[in-house]
Amino acid sequence: MGKIVRALSETGGVLCAAIDAFDIVSDIQKLHEASAAVTAALGRMAAAASLMGSMLKYEDDRLTIRINGGGACGVMTAVADYRGNVKCSVGNSKADAEDVESLVGSDGQLTVIKDMGLKEPYVGQIPLSSGNIARVLTEYYTISEQLPTVFTLGILFDDNLKVKAAGGYMVQVVPPVSEKSVMILDENLQNMSEIGAMLEQGFTPEEIALKALSGLGGEILDEWEAAYKCDCSREKTEQILLSLGRKELKRLADEHETTEVCCHFCNKKYLFNAEDMLKLLKKSS
Protein backbone atom coordinates (compact mmCIF):
# COMPACT_ATOMS: atom_id res chain seq x y z
CA MET A 1 0.00 0.00 0.00
CA GLY A 2 1.12 3.51 -0.73
CA LYS A 3 0.63 6.16 1.87
CA ILE A 4 -0.57 9.75 1.46
CA VAL A 5 -0.56 12.45 4.11
CA ARG A 6 -1.78 16.00 3.95
CA ALA A 7 -0.41 18.72 6.20
CA LEU A 8 -1.49 22.32 6.68
CA SER A 9 0.46 25.35 7.89
CA GLU A 10 -0.60 26.96 11.17
CA THR A 11 -2.35 29.87 9.44
CA GLY A 12 -3.96 27.55 6.89
CA GLY A 13 -2.43 29.16 3.81
CA VAL A 14 -0.03 26.41 2.78
CA LEU A 15 -1.10 22.84 2.10
CA CYS A 16 1.29 19.99 1.43
CA ALA A 17 0.38 16.47 0.32
CA ALA A 18 3.11 13.83 0.22
CA ILE A 19 3.04 10.24 -1.00
CA ASP A 20 5.17 7.15 -0.67
CA ALA A 21 4.23 5.50 -3.96
CA PHE A 22 6.66 2.58 -3.89
CA ASP A 23 3.93 -0.09 -3.99
CA ILE A 24 1.91 1.78 -6.61
CA VAL A 25 4.86 2.25 -8.94
CA SER A 26 6.07 -1.34 -8.38
CA ASP A 27 2.59 -2.52 -9.42
CA ILE A 28 2.78 -0.32 -12.52
CA GLN A 29 6.11 -1.86 -13.51
CA LYS A 30 4.72 -5.38 -13.00
CA LEU A 31 1.17 -5.04 -14.42
CA HIS A 32 2.23 -3.12 -17.52
CA GLU A 33 5.48 -5.10 -17.94
CA ALA A 34 6.89 -1.63 -18.35
CA SER A 35 10.44 -0.65 -19.26
CA ALA A 36 12.31 1.34 -16.60
CA ALA A 37 11.86 4.51 -18.67
CA VAL A 38 8.08 4.04 -18.93
CA THR A 39 7.88 3.09 -15.24
CA ALA A 40 9.71 6.33 -14.42
CA ALA A 41 7.26 8.41 -16.49
CA LEU A 42 4.01 6.58 -15.73
CA GLY A 43 4.99 6.24 -12.06
CA ARG A 44 5.42 10.01 -11.78
CA MET A 45 2.03 10.54 -13.44
CA ALA A 46 0.40 8.06 -11.06
CA ALA A 47 2.00 9.63 -7.98
CA ALA A 48 0.86 13.08 -9.13
CA ALA A 49 -2.67 11.87 -9.92
CA SER A 50 -2.79 10.26 -6.49
CA LEU A 51 -1.78 13.54 -4.80
CA MET A 52 -4.26 15.56 -6.87
CA GLY A 53 -6.97 12.97 -6.26
CA SER A 54 -6.45 13.35 -2.52
CA MET A 55 -7.60 16.98 -2.92
CA LEU A 56 -11.03 15.89 -4.23
CA LYS A 57 -13.90 16.20 -1.81
CA TYR A 58 -16.38 13.41 -2.38
CA GLU A 59 -16.29 9.64 -2.62
CA ASP A 60 -17.44 9.48 -6.26
CA ASP A 61 -15.18 12.29 -7.52
CA ARG A 62 -12.58 11.21 -10.09
CA LEU A 63 -9.54 12.92 -11.48
CA THR A 64 -7.87 12.06 -14.79
CA ILE A 65 -4.51 13.35 -16.05
CA ARG A 66 -3.60 12.74 -19.68
CA ILE A 67 -0.33 13.63 -21.33
CA ASN A 68 -0.04 13.41 -25.08
CA GLY A 69 3.50 14.58 -25.74
CA GLY A 70 4.28 12.80 -29.00
CA GLY A 71 7.14 10.83 -27.37
CA ALA A 72 7.92 7.12 -27.76
CA CYS A 73 5.66 6.04 -24.87
CA GLY A 74 2.54 7.43 -26.56
CA VAL A 75 -0.42 8.78 -24.61
CA MET A 76 -0.26 8.33 -20.84
CA THR A 77 -3.36 8.42 -18.67
CA ALA A 78 -3.74 8.24 -14.89
CA VAL A 79 -7.07 8.14 -13.06
CA ALA A 80 -7.37 8.67 -9.29
CA ASP A 81 -10.18 8.67 -6.75
CA TYR A 82 -10.60 10.99 -3.73
CA ARG A 83 -8.38 8.75 -1.58
CA GLY A 84 -5.57 8.68 -4.10
CA ASN A 85 -6.20 5.15 -5.36
CA VAL A 86 -4.94 5.20 -8.91
CA LYS A 87 -4.82 3.29 -12.20
CA CYS A 88 -3.00 4.21 -15.37
CA SER A 89 -2.43 3.28 -18.99
CA VAL A 90 0.23 3.97 -21.58
CA GLY A 91 0.45 3.65 -25.37
CA ASN A 92 3.71 1.67 -25.44
CA SER A 93 4.84 0.23 -22.12
CA LYS A 94 8.08 -1.15 -23.61
CA ALA A 95 9.28 2.18 -25.03
CA ASP A 96 12.74 3.38 -24.13
CA ALA A 97 14.54 6.70 -24.23
CA GLU A 98 17.58 8.36 -22.73
CA ASP A 99 15.52 10.20 -20.12
CA VAL A 100 11.93 10.67 -18.99
CA GLU A 101 11.55 14.04 -20.70
CA SER A 102 12.35 12.76 -24.17
CA LEU A 103 10.27 9.61 -23.59
CA VAL A 104 7.21 11.75 -22.80
CA GLY A 105 7.88 14.37 -25.48
CA SER A 106 6.85 18.00 -25.45
CA ASP A 107 4.77 18.28 -28.61
CA GLY A 108 1.22 18.10 -27.29
CA GLN A 109 -1.01 18.81 -24.32
CA LEU A 110 -1.62 18.07 -20.70
CA THR A 111 -5.31 17.52 -19.96
CA VAL A 112 -6.82 17.38 -16.48
CA ILE A 113 -10.39 16.16 -16.11
CA LYS A 114 -12.23 16.42 -12.81
CA ASP A 115 -15.46 14.48 -12.69
CA MET A 116 -17.30 15.72 -9.64
CA GLY A 117 -20.75 14.34 -10.38
CA LEU A 118 -21.89 17.51 -12.14
CA LYS A 119 -23.54 17.46 -15.54
CA GLU A 120 -20.25 18.24 -17.28
CA PRO A 121 -16.82 17.32 -15.93
CA TYR A 122 -14.31 20.12 -15.45
CA VAL A 123 -11.68 19.96 -18.21
CA GLY A 124 -8.45 21.99 -18.14
CA GLN A 125 -5.83 21.81 -20.85
CA ILE A 126 -2.44 23.45 -21.42
CA PRO A 127 0.20 22.97 -24.12
CA LEU A 128 3.28 21.06 -22.93
CA SER A 129 6.38 23.20 -22.43
CA SER A 130 8.52 20.09 -21.80
CA GLY A 131 8.28 16.40 -20.98
CA ASN A 132 9.02 17.11 -17.32
CA ILE A 133 5.85 15.91 -15.60
CA ALA A 134 6.33 17.77 -12.29
CA ARG A 135 7.08 21.02 -14.12
CA VAL A 136 4.13 20.66 -16.49
CA LEU A 137 1.72 20.04 -13.60
CA THR A 138 3.16 23.02 -11.74
CA GLU A 139 2.45 25.14 -14.83
CA TYR A 140 -1.04 23.70 -15.14
CA TYR A 141 -2.03 24.93 -11.67
CA THR A 142 -0.61 28.38 -12.33
CA ILE A 143 -2.20 28.80 -15.77
CA SER A 144 -5.43 26.84 -15.52
CA GLU A 145 -6.39 27.03 -11.85
CA GLN A 146 -4.49 30.18 -10.83
CA LEU A 147 -3.40 28.36 -7.69
CA PRO A 148 0.34 28.55 -6.99
CA THR A 149 1.39 24.90 -6.68
CA VAL A 150 4.71 23.11 -6.84
CA PHE A 151 5.16 19.41 -7.64
CA THR A 152 8.22 17.32 -6.84
CA LEU A 153 8.23 13.73 -8.09
CA GLY A 154 10.95 11.10 -8.09
CA ILE A 155 11.62 7.43 -8.72
CA LEU A 156 14.82 5.49 -8.08
CA PHE A 157 15.78 2.11 -9.55
CA ASP A 158 18.18 -0.56 -8.32
CA ASP A 159 20.91 -2.16 -10.47
CA ASN A 160 18.36 -4.59 -11.96
CA LEU A 161 16.11 -1.67 -12.98
CA LYS A 162 13.50 -2.56 -10.37
CA VAL A 163 11.84 0.30 -8.49
CA LYS A 164 13.57 0.99 -5.19
CA ALA A 165 11.92 4.25 -4.10
CA ALA A 166 9.05 6.30 -5.52
CA GLY A 167 6.92 9.19 -4.45
CA GLY A 168 6.61 12.93 -4.31
CA TYR A 169 4.82 15.89 -2.84
CA MET A 170 2.78 18.88 -3.89
CA VAL A 171 2.69 22.19 -2.08
CA GLN A 172 -0.17 24.58 -2.65
CA VAL A 173 -0.45 28.18 -1.53
CA VAL A 174 -4.01 29.29 -0.90
CA PRO A 175 -4.20 33.11 -0.59
CA PRO A 176 -4.21 35.13 1.53
CA VAL A 177 -0.75 34.14 2.72
CA SER A 178 1.78 36.48 4.33
CA GLU A 179 4.88 37.39 2.36
CA LYS A 180 6.97 36.01 5.19
CA SER A 181 5.28 32.59 4.95
CA VAL A 182 5.95 32.48 1.21
CA MET A 183 9.61 33.33 1.82
CA ILE A 184 9.96 30.60 4.45
CA LEU A 185 8.25 28.11 2.11
CA ASP A 186 10.52 29.04 -0.81
CA GLU A 187 13.56 28.51 1.34
CA ASN A 188 12.25 25.18 2.63
CA LEU A 189 11.61 23.92 -0.88
CA GLN A 190 15.06 24.96 -2.02
CA ASN A 191 16.63 23.16 0.92
CA MET A 192 14.70 19.89 0.47
CA SER A 193 16.89 16.98 -0.61
CA GLU A 194 16.06 15.11 -3.80
CA ILE A 195 12.75 13.28 -3.17
CA GLY A 196 13.85 9.83 -4.36
CA ALA A 197 16.88 9.99 -2.07
CA MET A 198 14.72 11.09 0.88
CA LEU A 199 12.36 8.17 0.40
CA GLU A 200 15.25 5.76 0.02
CA GLN A 201 16.74 7.05 3.27
CA GLY A 202 13.45 6.14 4.96
CA PHE A 203 11.77 9.55 5.23
CA THR A 204 8.02 8.99 5.70
CA PRO A 205 5.39 11.10 3.91
CA GLU A 206 4.64 12.77 7.30
CA GLU A 207 8.27 13.78 7.72
CA ILE A 208 8.48 15.03 4.14
CA ALA A 209 5.28 17.11 4.42
CA LEU A 210 6.31 18.59 7.77
CA LYS A 211 9.80 19.34 6.44
CA ALA A 212 8.26 21.28 3.54
CA LEU A 213 6.22 23.27 6.08
CA SER A 214 8.97 23.70 8.67
CA GLY A 215 8.86 27.10 10.37
CA LEU A 216 5.20 27.44 9.32
CA GLY A 217 3.68 25.49 12.22
CA GLY A 218 2.71 22.61 9.94
CA GLU A 219 0.38 19.93 11.29
CA ILE A 220 -0.77 16.66 9.79
CA LEU A 221 -4.36 17.03 8.61
CA ASP A 222 -5.12 13.47 7.53
CA GLU A 223 -3.46 10.33 6.20
CA TRP A 224 -4.60 7.21 4.41
CA GLU A 225 -3.44 4.30 2.34
CA ALA A 226 -3.61 4.44 -1.42
CA ALA A 227 -3.08 1.62 -3.88
CA TYR A 228 -2.95 0.78 -7.56
CA LYS A 229 -6.55 -0.20 -8.08
CA CYS A 230 -8.39 -1.07 -11.29
CA ASP A 231 -12.17 -1.17 -11.19
CA CYS A 232 -12.71 -3.19 -14.36
CA SER A 233 -15.12 -6.13 -14.31
CA ARG A 234 -16.76 -8.60 -16.67
CA GLU A 235 -20.00 -6.58 -16.48
CA LYS A 236 -18.21 -3.37 -17.49
CA THR A 237 -16.43 -5.20 -20.31
CA GLU A 238 -19.82 -6.48 -21.57
CA GLN A 239 -21.04 -2.89 -21.63
CA ILE A 240 -18.02 -1.90 -23.74
CA LEU A 241 -18.73 -4.73 -26.18
CA LEU A 242 -22.41 -3.77 -26.35
CA SER A 243 -21.43 -0.17 -27.11
CA LEU A 244 -19.69 -1.41 -30.29
CA GLY A 245 -23.11 -2.04 -31.81
CA ARG A 246 -24.85 -5.10 -33.23
CA LYS A 247 -22.98 -5.18 -36.51
CA GLU A 248 -19.53 -5.19 -34.92
CA LEU A 249 -20.62 -7.72 -32.30
CA LYS A 250 -21.85 -10.04 -35.03
CA ARG A 251 -18.60 -9.64 -36.96
CA LEU A 252 -16.56 -10.49 -33.86
CA ALA A 253 -18.76 -13.51 -33.13
CA ASP A 254 -18.49 -14.76 -36.74
CA GLU A 255 -14.76 -14.24 -37.17
CA HIS A 256 -13.41 -15.34 -33.79
CA GLU A 257 -13.94 -18.46 -31.76
CA THR A 258 -13.08 -16.42 -28.68
CA THR A 259 -13.15 -12.66 -28.35
CA GLU A 260 -10.54 -11.34 -25.95
CA VAL A 261 -10.87 -7.94 -24.33
CA CYS A 262 -7.83 -6.72 -22.42
CA CYS A 263 -8.11 -3.96 -19.79
CA HIS A 264 -5.68 -1.14 -20.61
CA PHE A 265 -5.29 -0.30 -16.94
CA CYS A 266 -4.44 -3.70 -15.41
CA ASN A 267 -3.93 -6.02 -18.39
CA LYS A 268 -6.62 -8.38 -17.14
CA LYS A 269 -8.07 -10.41 -20.00
CA TYR A 270 -11.78 -11.07 -20.38
CA LEU A 271 -12.69 -13.92 -22.72
CA PHE A 272 -16.00 -14.25 -24.52
CA ASN A 273 -16.73 -17.51 -26.38
CA ALA A 274 -19.31 -17.94 -29.16
CA GLU A 275 -22.08 -18.64 -26.66
CA ASP A 276 -21.24 -15.49 -24.63
CA MET A 277 -21.26 -13.43 -27.81
CA LEU A 278 -24.66 -14.82 -28.82
CA LYS A 279 -26.03 -13.82 -25.42
CA LEU A 280 -24.64 -10.30 -25.92
CA LEU A 281 -26.15 -10.12 -29.40
CA LYS A 282 -29.51 -11.05 -27.90
CA LYS A 283 -29.09 -8.37 -25.24
CA SER A 284 -28.29 -5.75 -27.85
CA SER A 285 -31.48 -6.36 -29.83
CB closer to Zn ion out of 229 and 250: 229
* R_g over Cα of the chain: 21
CB within 8 Å of 125: residues ≥ 6 apart? 109, 110, 111, 112, 144
Cβ contact 128:106 at 8 Å: yes
DSSP one-letter string for 209-225: HHHHTTTTT-EEEEEEE
Mask of contacts with Zn ion, 187-216, x by CB under 5 A? ------------------------------
Contact between 232 and Zn ion by CB under 5 A: the answer reads: yes
CB closer to Zn ion out of 8 and 232: 232
Q: Is 134 exposed, middle or buried (0-12, 13-18, 19+ CB in 10 A)?
A: buried
CB closer to Zn ion out of 22 and 270: 270
Q: Is 181 exposed, middle or buried (0-12, 13-18, 19+ CB in 10 A)?
A: buried
Contact between 78 and Zn ion by CB under 5 A: the answer reads: no
CB closer to Zn ion out of 21 and 230: 230
Q: What CA–CA distance (Å, rounded) separates 44 from 41?
A: 5
Cβ contact 216:185 at 8 Å: yes
Minimum Å gap between C-beta 234 and Zn ion is: 11
Report the residue from 24, 208, 216, 230 that binds Zn ion according to the rule CB under 5 A.
Answer: 230
Minimum Å gap between C-beta 231 and Zn ion is: 7
Report the residue from 52, 165, 266, 280 that binds Zn ion according to the rule CB under 5 A.
Answer: 266
CB closer to Zn ion out of 236 and 251: 236
Which region among 73-81, 125-133, 134-142, 259-267 touches Zn ion (by CB under 5 A)?
Answer: 259-267
Report the residue from 45, 208, 263, 277 that binds Zn ion according to the rule CB under 5 A.
Answer: 263
Which region among 14-22, 91-99, 102-110, 223-231 touches Zn ion (by CB under 5 A)?
Answer: 223-231
CB closer to Zn ion out of 161 and 262: 262
Cβ contact 188:213 at 8 Å: yes
Q: What CA–CA distance (Å, rounded) separates 220 from 105?
A: 36
Dihedral over Cα of 94, 99, 105, 110: its sign: positive
Contact between 28 and Zn ion by CB under 5 A: the answer reads: no
Q: How many residues interact with Zn ion (rule CB under 5 A)?
A: 6
Minimum Å gap between C-beta 232 and Zn ion is: 3
Report the residue from 82, 169, 265, 272 that binds Zn ion according to the rule CB under 5 A.
Answer: 265
Question: 251-260 in b/e burial notation, b at 16+ Cβ within 10 A?
Answer: ebbeeeeebe
**Interacting residues toward Zn ion by CB under 5 A:** 230, 232, 263, 265-266, 268
